[in-house]
Amino acid sequence: MDSIKQAVELARAADAPGQSAIAPEVVRRGSVDPAIRGAQLSPAHLERSRIVAQDSATPQGRYYDMLRTQILQEMDKKSWQFLAITSPTAGCGKTVTACNLAISIARLAERSVLLVDLDLRRPTVANYLGVQGTGGVMSVLEGRAPLSSAVMQVNVGPTNFLVLPGTVSSSSSSEWMASQTMGTLLQTIKREFRSRIVIFDLPPMLLGDDVISILPRMDATLLVAGVGATTVADVKECQKHLQRSPVIRVVVNKAQETPDSYYGYY
């Protein structure tokens, strides 16, 4: 754990175009708009996938609520909308964190959220949530589908939120991330979903230049480190790329501490 604590301290020091999306006011809590593809999430599947934030009565759900509150306070203070979630390498739990954080935010009565799978190399948000479908973010980028048909509303109990899933991987992810097409898509999301917090599940930072290319278009970054998966050298390397991007929190995932000290994050 000493190496992870050192890593956290280092990270703390780092200071389809033309398409109309769905207006954020259309979707109300507990309802499904007929213009949006809907999906009911399976609580059993979510639990197997370690998605636990739908139940605030559990210790795990409460810990994600604590993280949610800290992040929203900081984002509201700066009027931020776009939150990027990434990790140094694979296996740190960034997608699990992104899904849990989205559900936790969606449970708030006056909040709404859009979860976007921008890990174009290995999209897994749909798998973790247990939803199926065609299209997804690549169909929008390639001009094969409008944004309105690619977005899904997912429901678990009384909670609902929007998801722009990734259904296929791309061998040209780096080029897409840096493209004007991506910039136009992000501008459309910002305009059409302006009342929502938008969470982007990005690829691991050190596996290519995808994250570096898109970070300037994000408002803030949540870095997920994994005990046993992240080294101090990994965090130092990430720190170089995050010097010009606000790091809102560093999550230390897979920690084996007892709940009365902390639960896997600082």
At CA 162, angle to CA 158 and CA 165, rounded to 5?
130
Report which residue type is found at 202. Answer: L
Kindly report, residue by residue over 87-99, the tens digit of the pLDDT: 999 999 999 999 9
DSSP one-letter code for 110 = T
Read off the pLDDT band of 257 (50, 70, 90).
Answer: low
pLDDT of 247 > 60? The answer is yes
Helix (H) or strand (E) holding 60: helix 59-78
Closest CA to 67 of 29, 98, 26: 98
Residue 35: predicted pLDDT: 60
Question: Per residue in 65-116, pLDDT tens?
Answer: 999 999 999 999 999 999 999 999 999 999 999 999 999 999 999 999 999 9
Higher pLDDT, 133 or 258: 133
pTM as predicted: 0.83
Terminal C-alpha separation, the chain = 13
Given a cut of 60, whether residue 254 has pLDDT beyond it is yes
Q: What is the pLDDT of residues 123-168, one digit of tens each?
A: 999 999 999 877 799 999 999 999 988 999 999 999 999 999 998 8
Please enumerate, as own/partner, the contacts of 5-9 that have beta carbons within 8 Å and a separation of 24 or more: 6/232, 7/225, 7/230, 7/231, 7/232, 7/234, 7/235, 7/250, 8/225, 8/235, 8/250, 8/252, 8/266
